[in-house]
Amino acid sequence: MNQRRLSFGLLATLVTAAFAVGCGDSQPEAAAAPQPTTVASADPAPSAAPDPTPPPTATPDPTPPPKPSKDKWIGNFQQDFSGDVQTVADAAAKKKAGAKDPDNKKYNAVMDKAKAVIAANTISNTADGSVWSTNGKPKHTMGVTIVKGDDPSALAIQFVKDGKKTLKTPIDVAITFTDDNTFTVKDPWAKRDPLTFVFKRQ
């Protein structure tokens, strides 16, 4: 009787242990620990692209500096039929033509003659001399001293010689350049009321 109870108890214990082991094996495995996630670092901001346009460079001024009047003075010039000489010629032509000149023939003839006389006058200048000629024949061969010549438009000179003769009193001459190739000057040999002459470079 005791042996049967012992065997039954042992059997119950083994069954219970087996059941426990079987149930333990049927339990789901523990969830795997979450793996740390790697967060991709954000791409660095792209650097500013270099400006393909090169910086502006200073461009030289295309306009050359104005020439000083002493440099403009050098060369050959011809008297121009304009200014005072034209005004005087116009008055003389009108007086000679008179009122009875319907086609202006007399007036035009006098003006054409005056133009030819003026066009025959030339001047050739160097740094120290000036030759005034009519029809190619020198009338005044002057020794020249430049008094002031750095200004682009105003030139001050003196006639210090007439031919080979040194003048006791130099003749002051003021010359005005209206452009690089044109100047005006009052008649240096007029005794009174000198006319203003216009000369243009040949």
**Tens digits of residue pLDDT in 121-166:** 999 999 999 999 999 999 999 999 999 999 999 999 999 999 989 9
Nearest to 77 by CA among 20, 121, 12: 121
Contact predicate 197/85, CB 8 Å = yes
Rounded CA gap, 194 and 188, in Å? Answer: 7
Q: Residue 54 has what pLDDT?
A: 67
Total-model pTM:
0.69
Cβ-Cβ contacts under 8 Å for 76 (sequence gap 6 or more): 122, 123, 124, 125, 201, 202
**Tens digits of residue pLDDT in 16-65:** 444 344 444 444 444 455 555 554 555 555 565 666 676 677 776 678 89
**Residue 76 token pair:** 């050959």
Return phi, psi of residue 162, to 5°. -120, 100
Average pLDDT over residues 7-20: 42
Contact predicate 66/152, CB 8 Å = yes
Banded model confidence at residue 74, pLDDT cuts 50, 70, 90: very high
Q: Residue 30 has what pLDDT?
A: 46
CATH number belonging to domain 69-201 = 2.40.128
Number of neighbouring beta carbons within 10 Å of residue 24: 8
All structural domains of the chain with their residue ranges:
69-201
